Copies of this chain bind each other. A is one copy, B any other.
Amino acid sequence: MLKDTVRTKTYQNVIYQNKFLFKDKVVLDVGAGTGILSLFCAKAGAKHVYAVECSLMADMAKEIVQVNGYADVITVLKGKVEEIVLPVPHVDIIISEWMGYFLLFENMLNTVLYARDKWLITDGIVLPDKASLYLTAIEDSEYKEDKIEFWNNVYGFNMSCIKKQSMMEPLIDTVDQNQIVTNCHLLKTMDISNMTSGDAAFTAPFKLVAERNDYIHALVAYFDVSFTKCHKFMGFSTGPRSRGTHWKQTVLYLEDVLTICEGEELVGSMTVSPNKKNARDVDIVLQYSLTGQRCRVSRTQHYKMR
């Protein structure tokens, strides 16, 4: 994950280029991993950093902090944020890299919100403090053929029942920006400083307008995160027009191939909610309709991220 340079470099720049935010402040790093964000904060002048990590990586983080000479500034706490005892009553800053695929799949957002409500001072800051989910539509005949239609004839056998299932599983993959057929629509912005965990479940309408005559095989979701408390705007996008990250994009194949003409509108809504049995899984309901010259479709599809 450290090798995702878009991600790590953005955090590094946010911290190193905004030392005024960190000077003499107490920082909590939620899900610290190797401790890299804590090290950035310590180097930027934080008074103290509490790095919370529940996996075995916490032991590595302790060693790394020691080896790099920050043992007096960074305290690694091995355990769950919900269970650890923080040695101070409050923190000034919470930093975390909590985002999952599709922003919300297997994410740590609830843990960040828990820490915010428990320890962050009034006027304290959360980094990043904004996350937005976007939707666009793509032409993807080649890959849909490979990934979905494949099941119609597998070495001579009909396995189309697996096709039904694989249609329901959003695919994490890199989309070429030339495949984009419509505008990109902002579905939802989350304000990490003020939201509640319930706000991560939502229904958002969308309107995607075709920018050329083409076919639509899939909708594609991606997210941006931003750090609005910096001296100037900082953040990164995981969209198909930006430099690749390990999050790639999330592709939701449509049952129909939509024949869309330039200027026509694909309208609908996306409902996102944590799965009731396992809150780290995500259920997505996509409702869409196109009333075009060459194609009229109205459909509801269900997807599950497991």
Chain A 154-186 interface residues, beta-carbon cutoff 8 Å to B: 154-162, 165
- Distance A34 CA – B12 CA, assembled complex (angstroms): 46
- Distance A88 CA – B43 CA, assembled complex (angstroms): 70
Chain B residues within an 8 Å CB radius of A162: 34, 60, 64
* Residue A150, interface by CB 8 Å: yes
- Distance A12 CA – B155 CA, assembled complex (angstroms): 8
**Pair B157/A64 contact, Cβ less than 8 Å:** yes
List the 8 shortest-distance A-B pairs measured between CB atoms, nearest first: A63-B161, A68-B157, A39-B157, A67-B158, A64-B159, A68-B158, A60-B162, A60-B161
**Pair A67/B155 contact, Cβ less than 8 Å:** no
* Residue A204, interface by CB 8 Å: no
**Pair A155/B8 contact, Cβ less than 8 Å:** yes
Interface size on A, residues (CB 8 A): 26
Chain A 95-124 interface residues, beta-carbon cutoff 8 Å to B: none
Closest B residue to A3 by CB, please name it: B150
Q: Is the interface of A mostly helix, strand, loop or mixed?
A: helix
Give 22 pairs: A residue, B residue, CB < 8 Å, sorted on A: A2-B155, A8-B155, A9-B155, A12-B155, A34-B154, A34-B159, A34-B162, A36-B154, A36-B157, A40-B155, A43-B156, A60-B159, A60-B161, A60-B162, A60-B165, A63-B161, A64-B157, A64-B158, A64-B159, A64-B161, A64-B162, A67-B161
What does the 1/0 interface line of A61-101 toward B look like (CB < 8 Å)?
00110011000000000000000000000000000000000
- Distance A154 CA – B9 CA, assembled complex (angstroms): 11
Residue with the greatest number of chain B CB neighbours at <10 A, chosen from A43, A63, A155, A160 = A155
Interface residue ranges, A against B (CB under 8 Å): 2-3, 8-9, 12, 34, 36, 39-40, 43, 60, 63-64, 67-68, 150, 154-162, 165
- Distance A160 CA – B8 CA, assembled complex (angstroms): 18
Closest B residue to A64 by CB, please name it: B159
Chain B residues within an 8 Å CB radius of A3: 150
Chain B residues within an 8 Å CB radius of A40: 155
- Distance A156 CA – B16 CA, assembled complex (angstroms): 12
- Distance A34 CA – B150 CA, assembled complex (angstroms): 14
14 other contacts beyond A8-B155, A64-B158, with CB at 8 A cut-off?
A2-B154, A36-B154, A36-B155, A39-B157, A40-B155, A60-B159, A60-B161, A60-B162, A60-B165, A63-B161, A67-B158, A67-B161, A68-B157, A68-B158
Q: Smallest CB–CB gap between A39 and chain B, Å?
A: 5
Chain B residues within an 8 Å CB radius of A64: 157-159, 161-162
Q: Smallest CB–CB gap between A236 and chain B, Å?
A: 16
Closest B residue to A56 by CB, please name it: B165
